[in-house]
Structure 1
Amino acid sequence: MTAANLPEPSAEALESSEHLKQTIREEIALSDGLIPFSRFMELALYAPQYGYYTGGAHKIGAAGDFVTAPALTPLFGQTLARQIGELLPQTAGNVYEFGAGTGDLAATLLNSLSDGLNRYYIVELSPDLAERQRQFIADNTTPEAAAKVVHLNALPESLDGIAIGNEVLDAMPVELVRREHGCFWQIGVGLENGQFVRRTSPLTRPALLQAAAQYFPDAEPYTGELHPAQYAFVRTLAERLTRGGIIFIDYGFDAAQYYHPQRNEGTLIGHYRHHTVHDPFFRVGLTDLTAHVNFTDTAQAGTDGGLDLIGYTTQADFLLNLGITELLERQNLAPDSPAYVQTASALQKLLMPHEMGELFKVIAFGRNIGVDWQGFTRGDICHKL
């Protein structure tokens, strides 16, 4: 679909986007006409007041730009709660959720883990989303459950419990790198007649050069993403986890799949009103920018931080191992009822290979906790990492 056919934003949204673009233009001017793509993506998503996640518009759900698994059906959260419930007694009983979106997953887990849960910490950078989460949780849980929620705007210094991140890693800024003429080039963002354009310069940062040499195929020309922000985030969590586990659910590949020679334009895309956009400069601040996760790099970050790699599998296998279909049967819905049809359709999206079932993966780490997790009893593919 062309940009001309996409839904038009409101005048207020366009004004917000223009404010953000001007902020980015000013930073480019102060940086000798060029900023790394990661910095552009960081500002586009997280600039105070005007960034995609820090602005006030609804991003998730039918009226937003994308739909996440917890919003499809409560069965997703109820199934995840089975795994978390097995682990909480080995910890201080805390759950830490990063980027809780609308609050759907938090509400479901609060309702499902009422007995063994001590505190439910939500780490949320967006004040607007944090307020929406509070309201959603208040409307969809008991007062006793809602009282266990603590919102934080920064990572806690230590974690004792189970940390979860559903579609969190894919929203972190990436570096764009191009291999051409026997050299690695860093793609940045500059200006041409006031408009954002891609510009390349020699890649000189040792850590990025090492990662590019490690992951990129010999094929040229080849453009792909590197994930230093994701690595740093996972490494930090690993170092702060004193006891418990970390579970990430996201779309992505192991490194061999990610950097396949045929994937020579990378995975960076935008989401705008449930449409895919390939221009990262389209309606800046109103379009979600995202890249697939390199789970090999994620696994390396966790183990570099001293954690045990518990398991790595597809979302479908993880949910099936934990009995998501059994939970559906327990609802005793009439097969011809609208509720059954809606729930079955949501499960199909979560489990089918051509939907979220195989593209989405689950990776888990632990420290001072049992390593035999039910979610990885069948279909573990750690050997691919």
Structure 2
Amino acid sequence: MNSNARQSDSLPAPGADALAQSEALTGLIRERIAAAGGWLPFDRYMDLVLYAPGFGYYSGGAMKFGRRGEDGSDFVTAPELSPLFATTLARPVAQALQQSGTRQLMEFGAGTGKLAAGLMNALADLDIHFDSYAIVDLSGELRARQRETIEREAPGLAAKVKWLDSLPDSFEGVVIGNEVLDAMPVRLVARKLGAWHERGVVLLNDRLAFDDRPITRDAQVELIDAAIDDANDEPFAEYVTETHEAALGFTKTICTMLVRGAAFFIDYGFPRREFYHAQRASGTLMCHYRHRAHPEPFLYPGLQDITAHVEFTGIAEAGVETGADLLGFTSQARFLLNAGVTDVLGELDPSDVRRFLPAANAVQKLLSEAEMGELFKVIAFSRGIPGTLDAFATGDRSHTL
């Protein structure tokens, strides 16, 4: 048993090989804690458990994406849920390529490759010509799965795909990031009796544990302090939340790299005023293991996903700071409806019940307020695109940022 695991009875235990990998990563974390003087900031811990070469959740060999915990996966994403997600997303992507006069695509965190294969096929069906589809993914195991999926599902277009180890200085085309921002490491901060502390990781009785240290002055925390008071009718003596330096830096990097075209980011989260509402006074950090969500980031390091909701106002500010235009911001449901998801579904034969009903049920999950439709948002930045896109034509929420 992993020495730090407090396994819930409802969570299945990993196999021996997975546990050995987790133990090796835990050993590395212990070394990093010692090297840091006994206290490691949480964002550095999160970076290790997700991305440590060979051991981290996204850089190791865990299955991650799937429909059921029984298949060894931990969560399902929209492209895995329904191929109609990619088919619909292809429409605003095609419009962005046409309006910007560009012919390249780049996807971050491409999962199993289903979104890439679906997008390329749909673009071909729309008679949209592109020169290349670049994928940026740290996981060698996922790169292999992506290559296999693309060669199987988009064989005529597989030659256009390339995997990047580093970003180009400039890029002209369309960038796609589906559930990428939520996987960026976050700092944890806590307001206790009116004073702010940063939450770090220590060894307590030979187990990983949280420990808080006072913060003297910090620009991000000062912004959060004001945002919490603005979002609520009464002040909070105690409040736990995250700061998103990695996601903000990533957004700036992409929008700086983008010389012409558009960048679409699809993820779950809220504008700043909603993000810091009293409902989230305990923070948004969450772990995903075998399709079950739980709040224990020290359970099985490297074998579970750790995420935090996206604070979209900060993302918008980061992109606009680079000189990029905010192309739009809306819910996933409104974005897909504007992009024609019901038309895409209507192309299926309703009398073919075996095919149509599962497709309709999946689309319902993509659109439903109780599922992914409202919690997930789409934010896009652009350069060289006049006006907006049809997918943001109605229901744009940029004014809420």
Q: In the alignment, does 2:179 pair up with 1:146? A: no
Once the two structures are TM-superposed, the CA of residue 204 in structure 1 deviates from its matched residue by: 4.0
Task: Give 3-state SS (helix, strand or coil) of 1:224's partner.
Answer: strand
Cα deviation digits, residues 268-319 of structure 1 (max 9, x gap): 0100000111111011111100000000011010111111111110000000
Indicate yes or no: 2:370 matched with 1:351.
no
Q: Answer with 339-348 or 207-216: which moved more.
A: 207-216
The reply on whether 1:83 has 2:92 as its aligned counterpart is: yes
Instruction: Return the alpha-carbon distance in structure 2 between the equivalents of residues 366 and 48 of structure 1.
Output: 33
- Structure 1 counterpart of 2:54: 49
2:346 matched to 1:333?
no
| Structure 1: runs of 5+ lacking an equivalent | none
**1:205 Cα shift?**
5.7
- TM-score, with structure 1 as normaliser: 0.97
CA contact (8 A) 1:123 1:153 kept: yes
Count how many residue pairs are aligned between Structure 1 and Structure 2: 383
Shift of residue 182 of structure 1? 2.1
Q: Take 1:214 and 1:137, find their aligned partners in 2: how far apart are those partners? A: 47
How far apart, in 2, do the equivalents of 1:52 and 1:372 lie?
37
Query: Would you say the 8 A contact 1:211–1:226 is kept in 2?
Result: no
Aligned-partner Cα distance in 2 for 1:383–1:87 = 22
Q: Percent identity?
A: 47
- The answer to whether residue 324 in structure 2 is matched with residue 312 in structure 1 is no
Matched residue SS, 2:372: helix
2:21 corresponding residue in structure 1:
16
The equivalent position to 2:241 in structure 1, one of 202, 220, 224, is 224
- Where does residue 66 of structure 1 map in the other structure? 75
Name the amino acid aligned to 2:116. Answer: A
Q: Which amino acid aligns with 2:33?
A: I
Aligned CA RMSD, in angstroms, stands at 1.4
Task: Choose from 87, 92, 106 the match for 1:96.
Answer: 106
Partner of 1:266: 283
Amino acid at match of 1:265: S
- Indicate whether 1:31 and 2:36 are aligned: yes
Q: Within 2, Cα distance between the matches of 1:107 and 1:157? A: 26
Whole-angstrom distance in 1 between the partners of 2:13 and 2:139: 24
**Counterpart of 2:11 in structure 1: which amino acid?**
L
C-alpha displacement of 1:153: 2.2
Write out per-residue CA displacement over residues 207-256 of structure 1, whole angstroms, 9 at most, x where no aligned residue: 33333334333312000011000000001111111001110000000111
Counterpart amino acid of 1:271?
H
Q: Which structure 2 residue ranges, 5 or more long, are not aligned?
A: 1-6, 230-234
Is the 1:312–1:376 contact (alpha carbons within 8 Å) kept by the matching residues of 2? yes
Secondary structure, in 3 states, of the residue corresponding to 2:106? strand
What's the CA shift for 1:348?
0.9
Q: Which amino acid aligns with 1:185?
A: H
Q: Please give the secondary structure, in 2, of the residue aligned with 1:209.
A: helix
Per the alignment, residue 302 of structure 1 pairs with 319
Give the 3 Å change call, closer, same or farther, for CA 124–205 of structure 1 in structure 2.
farther
2:212 to 200, 214, 235: 200
